Amino acid sequence: MTRSSEPTGHGTGSAAGTDSPGATNGTDGTDSISCEGVGVTLSGSSGALDVLGGVDISVARGEFVSILGTSGSGKTTLLRVLGGLLPATTGTVRCHGSVVTGPADGVVTVFQDYVHSLLPWRTVRRNVGLGIEAGCDRAERDERVDEALIMVGLRQRADEYPWRLSGGMQQRVQIARALATRPRVLLMDEPFGALDAMTKASLQDQLQQVQELTATTVVFVTHDVEEAVYLSDRVLVLDGSPAAIGLALDIPLERPRHQVTTKESADYLRLRHRVYEALGHDIGERARLGEHDHA
Amino acid sequence: MPEASAVASRVPPSKALRGRINAVGAAVFVLGLGVWELAVRTGLLDFAYLPPPSDVVVGLGELIETGQLQGALAHTLFVALSGWALAGLLGVAAGSVLGLVRPVWRYSMASLEALRALPIVAFVPVAVLLYGFSARMEIVVACYAALWPILLNTISGMRTEQRLIEVGAVLRLSRPAVLWKIRLPAATAQIVVGLRLGLSISLVLTLVAEMVGNPAGLGFLLVDKAEALQPAQMFAGVFVVGVAGIVLNALLMVAARLAFRGQLNAAGEGG
Ligand SMILES: Nc1ncnc2c1ncn2[C@@H]1O[C@H](COP(=O)(O)OP(=O)(O)O)[C@@H](O)[C@H]1O
Ligand SMILES: [Mg+2]
């Protein structure tokens, strides 16, 4: 795992019980989460590495934005910066108007590696309750946990231990744990990347429903073009070295979307084509750079 | 803990029980006793003071009748368990601090390594000198011995996976909550390993302290019976020591499984 960060060290006093009941959602024009001129330099074994440079993003409330990029392009790094898990070397991150210096209130990151992100000694129910134990009394906690479990369709498995569930179910537990805190922003790092195609499709649709229901702002990192176009209101392609936003593409496909019909529509195919083009161009350039290195 | 009762064990109880009672192992043990009995009776094994198992049983009866065994056993168990419990408190607390606070760890690790290199037995005369021939001396020795495995296992258990710490940060858990809800439970399986090792070494060092220091308990009973040329009773004492060790370890495991079912299951050590 990436170890350069200090997740608990910096920032916001990490007070317990700071969930915000009835968080005001809905797109009222103001930014939910945004960053300006973000650059990140990480020190690797071969010296300092400029991973990100001059990244500007602004995500409106209730918007679903995907960040797309090839493997190693800095997607995880960017999401960690947005989530306050990694301080930016340059630039600032803002969330609902205030500058982010640590994991912000109402912003929850969902990690790709669900196996390591769930507490194996807690049942599903108690895993989902982890983030709201300090702030809610028992009755409210139970209610919110149930609500979150119903949203991801795991109400029946509440008393199971996570390691007895399939990968897809475990990831749903992690998503439910985030939802139970009633987040205003959900940051997801390739949440379905380790799942098979069928599970992936069904989780995409579930996420779509949940987002429609809760109007949560979602920043979704993926390397899967189809997934990004299918789910998003907007797709951002991370490009270059250090990486910045190379392409920003609105996805005006009508909602709700369907795995079959949406993916057959001409608009979808056209948008997908453009994203592939953006990525393909990127790959070609890298290959040429590589040749220069060898010469 | 609420999770203890949440889910039934993975194996049905009858099967689990059968798995634990090792019939073949027991048969071999009984066979060994038979061979020993025969070898002594037929003169195949010819030591002046080696009693056959049947004499040992008689010796055990004598020890129980005179009440010597009960007294000695109670003393030794009290001392070993007191020292171990004290070591448990100290070891888990100090191990948590050492595991969590980098500077403390950096400054004290060299001294700890040096102390650990010192064989624990060498510490017994020191304790005798400091505390005299007393139960307190024994407890100090037992505690010191048990402290090491508990401390070191706690320190290493406290190196929680980075991802779990990030989960705590993302869910905005307070520092005490991260310690209590994430780090300590994640370390539980390893702390239990330390406690088990600590318990057996606590018993061993209690016996040593009784043999060379405080004239009380099972340790003293063994040397006393040997010097009094009563091998049957001495062997009975050895037998009781062995059984005590096994029973203590088993009790600890049962208690740990009851208290930390989820944690131990997760670590693959559940029942
Ligand atoms: N902790 C770290 N220290 C040094 N380099 C890192 C660290 N984490 C990631 N990197 C490097 O930063 C680049 C981007 O990584 P990452 O954000 O994980 O990419 P992605 O998620 O798009 O696959 C990679 O080249 C990776 O090797
Ligand atoms: Mg990544």
Residue with token string 């916001």? A12
pLDDT at A274: 92
Q: Which residues contact B106 (CB under 8 A, 6 or more apart)?
A: none
For an interface test with A, the pick among B102, B165, B172 (most A C-beta atoms closer than 10 Å) comes out as: B172
- Return the DSSP state at A104: P
Q: Which of A1, A41, A76 to mutate to test the pocket of ligand 1 (most atoms within 8 A of CB)?
A: A76
Average pLDDT over residues B10-16: 51
- Is a pLDDT exceeding 50 seen at residue B149? yes
- Is a pLDDT exceeding 80 seen at residue B236? yes
- Beta pairing, strands A90-95 & A98-99: antiparallel
The segments of chain A whose pLDDT lies below 50 read 1-28, 282-284, 287-295
Distance from the alpha carbon of residue A106 to the mean position of ligand 1, in angstroms: 26
Positive or negative, the Cα torsion across B260, A122, A170, B175?
negative
Residue A191: Cβ within 10 Å count = 26
- Is a pLDDT exceeding 70 seen at residue B79? yes
Residue nearest to atom 8 of ligand 1 (CA): A2
Distance from CA of B28 to the nearest CA of A (A): 38
pLDDT at A30: 73
Q: Which residues contact B225 (CB under 8 A, 6 or more apart)?
A: B231, B233, B234, B237
pLDDT at B14: 54
Q: Nearest-CA neighbor of A2 among A42, A31, A35?
A: A42
Task: Tell me which chain B residues have a C-beta less than 8 angstroms from the C-beta of A16.
Answer: 172-174, 177
Percent of chain B with pLDDT over 70: 91
In the predicted model, what is the mean pLDDT of chain B?
88
pLDDT at A52: 95
pLDDT at A17: 36
**Top-tier CATH class for B53-269:** mainly alpha
Q: Which alpha helices (DSSP H) does A83-165 contain, by range?
A: 114-117, 124-128, 138-151
Residue nearest to atom 3 of ligand 1 (CA): A44
Q: Nearest-CA neighbor of B171 among A39, A292, A122, A264?
A: A122
Average pLDDT over residues B221-226: 94
pLDDT at B23: 86
pLDDT at A27: 44
Size of interface A-B (CB pairs under 8 A): 102
Q: Which residues contact B11 (CB under 8 A, 6 or more apart)?
A: B19, B271
Q: How far apart are CA B269 and CA B262, in angstroms?
A: 10
Give the 3-state secondary structure of residue A160. coil
Residue A137: Cβ within 10 Å count = 7
Q: Which of A49, A89, A113, A279 to mutate to test the pocket of ligand 1 (most atoms within 8 A of CB)?
A: A49
Average pLDDT over residues B49-75: 93
pLDDT at B7: 42
Q: How far apart are CA B230 and CA A94, in angstroms?
A: 83
pLDDT at B17: 54
Contact B198, B245 (CB under 8 A): no
Contact A64, A233 (CB under 8 A): yes
Give the number of the atom of ligand 1 that is nearest the alpha carbon of residue A44. Answer: 4
Task: Tell me which chain B residues have a C-beta less than 8 angstroms from the C-beta of A181.
Answer: 171
Taking CA atoms, what residue in B is nearest to A182?
B171
- Is a pLDDT exceeding 50 seen at residue B204? yes
Report domain extents, chain A.
19-106+183-293
Distance from CA of B176 to the nearest CA of A (A): 10
Distance from the alpha carbon of residue B260 to the mean position of ligand 2, in angstroms: 34
pLDDT at B18: 55
pTM for the full predicted model: 0.79
CATH 1.10.3720.10-classified regions of chain B = 53-269
Q: In this complex, do A7 and B263 lie within 8 Å of one another by their Cβ atoms?
A: no
pLDDT at A105: 92
CATH (one of 3.50.50.60, 3.90.1310.10, 1.10.10.10, 3.40.50.300) for A19-106+183-293: 3.40.50.300
pLDDT at A135: 85
Average pLDDT over residues B144-149: 95
